[in-house]
A and B are shown apart, each in its own frame.
Chain A
Amino acid sequence: MALNTEKNSYTIIFSIVMVLVVGSILAGLASGLKPLVKANERFEKQQNILYALGVNNNEGANDVAFVSTDNVEQEFAKYITKQYVLQGGELIEDDEAYLIDIKKEETKAKNGSYERRLPIFFGQKDGKDVYVVPIRGKGLWDAIWGFVALDKEMVVTGVYFDHKGETPGLGAEIKQRYFMDDFTGEKFLDGEAFEGITVAKGNNDPKNERKDDHKIDALAGATITGDGVSAMLKKDVKMYMPYFKTLN
């Protein structure tokens, strides 16, 4: 019997069957691979936090190489001694603080009474206490985010930046070593006041030898991404200031 593929009823049945078949294939695949994908995302966050802390596999002068995924969990447990969540001035211990989605927290905090949960990670590097905080902001095209490692005077000991869709060769350079390394030693505080760190155009200190001017030399051709980095550093790190005050 020849199939009459021109009939309307046939078209409808064909569409329904096709959608069902395709839907179940994809649903099966997605749920099958979900644990692997989740694990990858977890490892990535741990690697990023460790990178900001200065724990990495960098070899050459320009490398940005993370701790390998095979032993990232051991390294994370070794260097990040405690994880906390700051909520309404209270410090609550939380072993999975690194999994907090700070984008969701920011949205939730917009509608009024919700106290934003701020993750903070306590680490030890070269015998010194280091605090790592996550930051997130807007670049030119899409989200940019990162982690900042600070000592208790809010002096930067390391950073890690990443982006979703900045221009390769321009804004995307924020995750290059030469840019990230410039932040080390910069101060967030000017005396008692919160000053932030600015990515500055026309900086008269391009080699970044002066560490107390709160300025980093900007990337050429990436003004908006640079401004985004300044803005997220100012906005997100500032929320932790009341806590850092209690440390001194």
Chain B
Amino acid sequence: MGLLSKKDSKLISDPLLDNNPITIQVLGICSALAITAQLKPSIVMAVSVLFVMGVGNVVISLMRNIIPSKIRIIAQLIVVATLVIIVDQVLKAFAYTLSKELSVFIGLIITNCIIMGRFEAFALANGPWRSFLDGIGNALGYGLILVVVGFFRELLGSGTLFGLKVMGDPVEKTGLFALGYENNGFMVLPPMALIVVGIIIWIQRSRNKALIED
């Protein structure tokens, strides 16, 4: 690898699979439940977290030597909150309909435990470049699960992807609906996100026995 050393590239690849923040560390579940009923908000949420985590990790890493340890959690919170407000304002100005759909959930990024966890566990102890990679890696790992869950929930719950009717029309009974297929309304409700995440965790652990704890 030319661009990244082996150690650096592990910072990106680890959180995608073997140390995924959602499926292995079981963090950030709340937002995964809330916004994954459709694919589009899942992707916007993933991109927003990517920005907040990438930039936030760098900022915290740059400030790591001047932050007083007594108030470091507050300082971290301020950095997350600032970045989240920036995302929110930019969405409101340039993607208004989307910002309405996501409404409170963008604000909820502040409470996303993955972000504070990475600030505390990684950025406070590492340089900006490595912190950046770590942030990107974890955000991608989070986003990956979000998109997979969003894909299945929208497809099975509403029969659409990005709002396009890929399964046919449920009212006029075209496509699969003509064969007696019905949308699974359960998929739209938040509990199903938990079950889909559970299934992903199940598949992942059955393929890699090393992940199973005793």
Q: List the interface of chain A (C-beta within 8 A of B).
A: 3, 5-6, 10-11, 14-15, 18-19, 22, 25-26, 29-30, 33, 36-37, 40-41, 43-44, 60-62, 164-165, 168-169, 178
B5 part of interface (Cβ distance < 8 Å): no
Look across to chain B and name the residue whose beta carbon is closest to the beta carbon of A35: B93
**10 interchain residue pairs of minimum CB distance:** A169-B188, A36-B93, A40-B96, A33-B93, A11-B68, A5-B68, A37-B92, A22-B82, A33-B89, A37-B93
Given the contacts A22-B78, A169-B185, A62 and B68 also touching, CB distance less than 8 Å? no
Closest Cβ of chain A to B182, distance in Å, is: 14
**Complex Cα distance A40/B68, Å?**
42
The segment out of B69-77, B119-127, B196-204 that lies at the interface is B69-77
Does A14 contact B82, Cβ atoms closer than 8 Å? Answer: no
**Contact among B66, B68, B92, B188 with A33 in the assembled complex (CB-CB below 8 Å):** B92
**Contact among B69, B82, B90 with A26 in the assembled complex (CB-CB below 8 Å):** B82
Chain A residues within 8 Å of B69, by CB: 5-6
Given the contacts A33-B93, A37-B93, A169 and B67 also touching, CB distance less than 8 Å? no
Chain A residues within 8 Å of B75, by CB: 14, 18
Encode contact with A along B34-77: 1 for CB under 8 Å, 0 otherwise. 00010000000000000000000000000001111111001100
A–B pairs, 5, beta carbons within 8 Å = A5-B66, A40-B93, A44-B96, A165-B103, A169-B157
**Complex Cα distance A11/B73, Å?**
13
Encode contact with A along B121-145: 1 for CB under 8 Å, 0 otherwise. 0000000000000000000000000
Chain A residues within 8 Å of B179, by CB: none
**Contact among B71, B92, B93, B171 with A15 in the assembled complex (CB-CB below 8 Å):** B71
Please report the number of residue pairs spanning A and B whose Cβ atoms sit closer than 8 angstroms.
Answer: 68
Chain A residues within 8 Å of B85, by CB: 26, 29
B189 part of interface (Cβ distance < 8 Å): yes
Does B70 contact A11, Cβ atoms closer than 8 Å? Answer: yes
Given the contacts A11-B71, A169-B189, A164 and B103 also touching, CB distance less than 8 Å? yes
Range of interface residues on B (Cβ < 8 Å): 20 to 34
Does A61 contact B172, Cβ atoms closer than 8 Å? Answer: yes
Look across to chain B and name the residue whose beta carbon is closest to the beta carbon of A3: B66
**Contact among A14, A22, A37, A60 with B89 in the assembled complex (CB-CB below 8 Å):** A37
Closest Cβ of chain B to A222, distance in Å, is: 13
Closest Cβ of chain A to B155, distance in Å, is: 15
Known: A19-B78, A37-B96, A168-B37. 16 other contacts (CB 8 A): A5-B66, A5-B67, A5-B68, A6-B68, A6-B69, A15-B71, A18-B78, A26-B82, A26-B86, A33-B92, A36-B94, A37-B93, A40-B96, A44-B96, A168-B188, A168-B189
**Contact among A14, A33, A60 with B67 in the assembled complex (CB-CB below 8 Å):** A14
B104 part of interface (Cβ distance < 8 Å): yes
Chain A residues within 8 Å of B71, by CB: 11, 14-15
Does A14 contact B68, Cβ atoms closer than 8 Å? Answer: yes
**Complex Cα distance A62/B183, Å?**
15
Chain A residues within 8 Å of B103, by CB: 164-165
Chain B residues within 8 Å of A41, by CB: 96
**Complex Cα distance A178/B70, Å?**
57
**Contact among A5, A19, A62, A168 with B171 in the assembled complex (CB-CB below 8 Å):** A62
Does B171 contact A3, Cβ atoms closer than 8 Å? Answer: no
Closest Cβ of chain A to B79, distance in Å, is: 8
Does A14 contact B66, Cβ atoms closer than 8 Å? Answer: yes
Closest Cβ of chain A to B170, distance in Å, is: 9
Look across to chain B and name the residue whose beta carbon is closest to the beta carbon of A44: B96
